[in-house]
Amino acid sequence: MEIKWYIGLSVALFCTGIIGVLTRRNSIVVFMCIELMLNAVNLLLVAFSKMHAASALAQLTPAVVSDAQIFVFFIMVVAAAEVSVGLAIIIMLYRNTHSADINFLNRLNN
């Protein structure tokens, strides 16, 4: 499979996430679109690592392929920590305003 199809798929998923962030006001959906963008980047990292594996195999040079997959692993670690804190903030928003509207986030600064 050529790398351009993976780039196209990842860019399409990323832009779908961006459109979601720009057009939705429900804070949970905005948060999910951020997760979608993170996953698009993860997919592209893994695809590039396997592209390096193919080119190193063709030129008979040793490949450093596992590093990108370790990066993806750490991105998942950071995303898990980020989700727990973010959802706590959204719960606090709901407790204070009885709505998940992202425009009410400025009411938290009392």
Two structure tokens written together for 59? 């030129």
The amino acid at residue 11 is V
Complex with other proteins: residue 2 or 60, whichever CB lies closer: 2
In the bound complex, what is the minimum distance in angstroms from residue 109's beta carbon to other proteins?
Answer: 13
- CB of 42 closer than 8 Å to CB of 17: no
Output 23 or 61, the one with its CB closest to other proteins: 23
What is the nearest approach in angstroms of other proteins to the Cβ of residue 107? 14
Minimum distance between the CB of residue 89 and other proteins, rounded to whole angstroms? 6
Distance CA(67)–CA(26), nearest Å, equals 36
CA–CA dist 67, 73 (Å, integer): 10
**Minimum distance, C-beta of residue 37 to other proteins, in the bound complex (Å):** 10
Q: What distances in angstroms separate CA 98 from CA 9, 32, 87, one per listed residue?
A: 38, 20, 15
> What residue type is assigned to position 43 of the chain?
L
What does the block give as tokens for 110? 């009392």
